Structure 1
Amino acid sequence: MNTMNWIEKELELLAEASLERSLRRSSPVIESPGYIMRGERVLLNLSSNDYLGLAQHPAIIERMRKALLTEGAGSGASRLVTGNRPPYERLEEEIAIWQKCEAALFFANGYMTNTGVIGALVSRGDVVFSDQWNHASITDGIVGSRAEHARYRHRDMAHLRTLLHKYRDKRRKLIVTDAVFSMDGDQAPLRELVALKREFGAMLMVDEAHSGGVYGKRGEGLCHELGLQDDVDIHVGTFSKSFGVYGAYICGSHMLIRWLINKARPLIYSTALPPSILAGISEGLALVQVQHWRRERLFALSELFRSLLRAAGFTISVGNSPIVPVIVGDNAMTLRFMGALEAEGIAAVAIRPPTVPDGTARIRFSVSAAHTEKELTDATEQIRNIGIQLGVLKRG
């Protein structure tokens, strides 16, 4: 008897619902950051989180190359053993200065940061208030913490207030939100969240994964853009998107960082990242702070792409984020849309449940500063034609 047969049956169900996922090989086009290779074909990349077009930047690549020669390929151990190389401490100092916070702590990635930080701050007897559209890493962090999970309706502050009042006697209360939501590109109501956390004595944690590098005078994120950085207790961000490299960070008080070093399990029990990665991040961080033109170009291109899609007949939400979803609804149709786009030279990924709610499958487009106006204009015409052919758009 094969005790693993149940997996095949479950996979069949996923396939029937057009929900099975698979890995697809992509390669960078070094000389053209806005494109990727699939097989022998070059595709316009409208799926990447490389918002500022830094992933192939020669200065970052050279900095990493030099670090490989001086620091070696790997760190060899966790940071609490022998993996805490000098590049870690230098990078954390740079992050703290950039974010104007007391201290910073580097993690291997955003998922490990969110699960580690939430698990270190709350446990049984506590409660976490989480926007229902928060990233899966936040949800998993809450589940793993064993704290009570109070999900409030997306951006609904009246609902959050009701939940805060209901759980007002809990030992510790933590409000967690993405700053910019990864599947819709809309922003959290941060001013209202700050007011509620003060009123109810809760901690506030904000994840700037999709807003770091994009917002703020030096790319610090949406909290800085709104002048709220001092009102956020736990500030999380990543270097795998706008900064073009990998890794994540948390900013806060010296006391918070000391606590996380002792209690954040993903930090304690994971091998430290290779020093070359840290070197690349340091270079990317420096570029983001001084190359303001990248943000200006990104906002201009994002506004153009949104306006072109609206003119083509698609319903596009208001905003200035480079994340621009086109809701299709049906899972199978969304996959057909993705395949038709690729046939026309456009890489754009179909996002389906459970990543998004049932009935809201979509093509999640994302704009990069590496794109040109002509590329986006031409792509929009192709997107429109495919939408009409598939019946997603009406002729008119």
Structure 2
Amino acid sequence: MSRFSDRLAAAARAREAAGLTRRLVARSGAGEDLLDLAGNDYLGLAGDPRVIEGAVRAAQTWGGGARASRLVTGTLALHAELEAELAAFTGHPSALAFSTGYHANLGAVTGLAGRGDLIVSDAHVHASMVDACRLSRARVAITGHHDLEAVEATLATRAEAHALVLVESVYSVLGDAAPVAELAEICARHEAVLVVDEAHALGTAGPGGRGLVAGAGLSGAEHVVVTGTLSKSLGSQGGFVLGSAAVREHLVNVARPFVYDTGLAPAAAGAALAALRVLRDEPERVDAVRHVAASLALAASTPEPAAAVLSVAMPSAAAAVAAAQVCAEAGLRVGCFRPPSVPDGISRLRLTARATLTDAELATATGTLTRALTTALAAR
């Protein structure tokens, strides 16, 4: 074995010994046995015939790919249409589509902050924002989760002229909501820019699913920038940044994940556009997903979540694994998060609500969840 192979083998052994090995499990497609409450298809639109037709029609019109980066020949009329409708729906002046939500966060943060600037980041932000902080070369101050006093103190005592504050509106693991209005006020007072990742709020929170920024009346605020994804409530793939026309123009010119990446695939853009129109025309889907989330929370004896993500704290990693296994054996797929994958170090079940669950499926899910938690807690 070469030194390189030895290194990989040693790393694999260490992961296995720590119980941290991850493995890919391929889904079989239509007719799967498990009821999925682990994915992020919150509105049930990934398989909606209208969304599929949007993808097919876009592929037939534009082909399998965008063929180039957006600044060469990779910007399609379809991209412009999607961006215009995203901006109109959310109430922001403009939108810019990226190939993934991960790229949207990388592009927004590294494009808006750099060496000599300050980034104030909530301790629980998504890995894409963490990586963006590292790539930005800005000074990074990590504050406690929802710690408004720490955010204000950090901004008030900074030496840097320019600062960003990073949060998720709805957090991806705990499912809790950020105090967006208070953060925006703090940022305005200290001349900082608030960047809010609405990946888990679009389609599930705010008026008609427009997100918590819209719910706080901050859509279009000059010092607020929103990022998001097309791969959750909209059932497609891709990401976006919402903000002023000046923010969009700046990112088009300096955001490396945008400048140097091939444009969003036509099928993904077409699917997302079709899903966005369904969300706009059928706001009752937002009410439906909230109803499912509340029902799951009741079954798990936890507070009602801010949107579609439900986090159930478990007393140990073993109890979490046992509960997830009981659910799987009963035909229910749930997420099982253990340290170090959880931001607060507490093992959890993570469930995601879906608007299209039937009454029978919801009854099965809540009954199974209650039994699984009772069994796991009794055996801890």
State the distance in 1 between where 2:155 and 2:285 align: 40
* 1:80/1:25 CA distance change after superposition, 3 Å: same
- Deviation, 1:206, is 0.7
Letter in 2 for 1:21: R
**Counterpart of 2:220 in 1: which secondary structure?**
helix
**Counterpart of 2:362 in 1: which secondary structure?**
helix
- 2:105: which partner in 1? 114
Letter in 2 for 1:156: D
State the distance in 1 between where 2:15 and 2:315 align: 17
* 1:381/1:190 CA distance change after superposition, 3 Å: same
* 1:69/1:319 CA distance change after superposition, 3 Å: closer
Does 2:370 align with 1:384?
yes
- Deviation, 1:394, is 7.6
**Counterpart of 2:312 in 1: which secondary structure?**
strand
**Counterpart of 1:230 in 2: which secondary structure?**
coil
- 2:152: which partner in 1? 161
- 1:33: which partner in 2? none
**Counterpart of 1:382 in 2: which secondary structure?**
helix
* 1:155/1:250 CA distance change after superposition, 3 Å: same
- Deviation, 1:340, is 2.8
State the distance in 2 between where 1:202 and 1:304 align: 39
Does 2:177 align with 1:187?
yes
Pick from 125, 135, 138 the counterpart of residue 144 of structure 1: 135
**What are the residue-to-residue correspondences of 1:52-63 with 2, within 5 Å?**
52-63=43-54
TM-score calculated relative to the size of structure 1: 0.90
Letter in 1 for 2:35: L
State the distance in 2 between where 1:218 and 1:388 align: 36
* 1:20/1:163 CA distance change after superposition, 3 Å: same
- Deviation, 1:72, is 1.3
Identity over aligned pairs, percent? 32
Letter in 1 for 2:3: T
Q: Mean Cα displacement is larger for which, 157-166 or 288-297? A: 157-166
Q: Mean Cα displacement is larger for which, 270-279 or 378-387? A: 378-387
**What are the residue-to-residue correspondences of 1:175-214 with 2, within 5 Å?**
175-214=165-204
Letter in 2 for 1:297: A
- Deviation, 1:382, is 2.4
- Deviation, 1:318, is 4.2
State the distance in 2 between where 1:393 and 1:195 align: 46
State the distance in 2 between where 1:89 and 1:237 align: 17
Letter in 1 for 2:179: P
- Deviation, 1:219, is 2.3
- 1:299: which partner in 2? 290
Does 2:242 align with 1:256?
no
**What are the residue-to-residue correspondences of 1:258-337 with 2, within 5 Å?**
258-310=249-301, 316-337=302-323
Deviations 1:238-274 (A, max 9, x none): 1111111111111111111111011100111111122
TM-score calculated relative to the size of structure 2: 0.94
State the distance in 1 between where 2:339 and 2:219 align: 33
**What are the residue-to-residue correspondences of 1:12-91 with 2, within 5 Å?**
12-29=13-30, 37=32, 42-91=33-82
Letter in 2 for 1:194: A
For structure 2, the residue ranges without an aligned partner over 5 or more in a row are: none
Does 2:7 align with 1:6?
yes
Does 2:81 align with 1:96?
no
Is 1:245–1:281's contact at 8 Å kept on the other side of the alignment? yes
Pick from 153, 160, 164 the counterpart of residue 170 of structure 1: 160
Root-mean-square deviation over aligned CA pairs: 1.9
- Deviation, 1:127, is 0.9
- 1:345: which partner in 2? 331
Deviations 1:256-308 (A, max 9, x none): 11110111001111111221221111111111011011111111221122112
State the distance in 2 between where 1:275 and 1:357 align: 35
State the distance in 2 between where 1:217 and 1:165 align: 33
State the distance in 2 between where 1:362 and 1:249 align: 29
Is 2:118–2:164's contact at 8 Å kept on the other side of the alignment? yes
- Deviation, 1:124, is 1.4
State the distance in 1 between where 2:372 and 2:204 align: 30
Is 1:17–1:331's contact at 8 Å kept on the other side of the alignment? no
Aligned residues: 378
Is 1:211–1:222's contact at 8 Å kept on the other side of the alignment? yes
